[in-house]
Amino acid sequence: MLSCRPLLLSTLCALLFQTCTADIAFSSPAAGAKISGSTIDVEFEDGPDSPPLSDFSTYQLQLCAGGQTEKDFTILLTFTTTGDFATDGNSYSAKITNLNLGANTQNAYFLRTIGAAPGGVVYNYSPRFSLTSMTGTFPANVQSALSSISGTDGPPTLNQITNPAAGAGAGAAAGAPAGSYSIPYTMQTGPVRYAPMAKVAPSKITAKGNARQYPTSDYNIWSRTGMPGPNASQTVTDVFTFAVSSMEPTIAAAPQPSDDMQKFLNRWKD
């Protein structure tokens, strides 16, 4: 007679593993909630995918409004860029500093976290809710996107850890998810890293007074024998958005100084 203990043990281990791996999920605000005032009480819990909350080194928390895709919603506020579950716990009190940022539209709003963990970055979204104290208006593209929203689900999760290809595609082809370029490079751990736009060169370069943007080090850890290679396979730099336009002046040149003024100016000639 075959024993079923090994099978039972493996099944229990699989279930245990599933319950111990999670990304960031929102238990508050609830789907369809109507929130008045300028404070959003946010509570986090383990979601259905890896990594667990304890693995996130930091997270950003943002207030968004609009549709289900990056081009159809807008980021209204960034509440924090240095959230830490280890020190701050699984709750956050988000303060809206300007009630004129958006409109009082049903289920127009949702929260987004950008969490950095070993292996990559995870973008999680809360269910939709209403902010009844808002007094502003939305841009045309946001209003148009909201007209097609019927439920309370937020945008889908983008998990670059369990699905590295999603991160590579977002950065290299379709543009990185909003907020990627603002995450400090040293906090990014996925195979695809994001860097901000290159600085524009000054109009005049001198031989003095040009300090390095970042400090350097004489020690190169990757030159040591037996050390592993870098774990980043690609760096995506933000698009170069700087542009210069010029035109001829439309105002006539100033007239020459009068005779009296010219005599006065002549007194100061070298």
Which CATH architecture is the domain 22-183 placed in?
Answer: Sandwich (2.60)
Query: For residue range 16-37, what is the model confidence (pLDDT) as tens digits?
Result: 333 333 589 999 999 999 999 9
More confident residue, 255 or 45: 45
Q: Is the pLDDT of residue 126 over 90?
A: yes
Give residue 40's pLDDT.
96
Q: What is the DSSP letter of 187?
A: G
Give residue 4's pLDDT.
41
Give residue 3's pLDDT.
43
Query: For residue range 184-243, what is the model confidence (pLDDT) as tens digits?
Result: 777 766 666 778 777 776 677 777 766 776 666 666 665 556 666 656 656 777 766 666
Q: Is the pLDDT of residue 58 over 90?
A: no
Which pairs count as long-range contacts for 173-181, CB under 8 Å and 24+ apart, including other chains?
175/70, 175/239, 176/236, 176/238, 177/70, 177/114, 177/123, 178/70, 178/75, 179/60, 179/62, 179/75, 179/78, 179/112, 179/114, 179/123, 180/114, 180/121, 181/238
Cβ neighbors of 152 (< 8 A, separation 6 or more) are: 31, 32, 107, 127, 128, 129
Give residue 178's pLDDT.
59
Give residue 63's pLDDT.
95
Model confidence at 56, in pLDDT bands (50, 70, 90)? confident
- Average of per-residue pLDDT across 260-270: 78
Give residue 213's pLDDT.
66
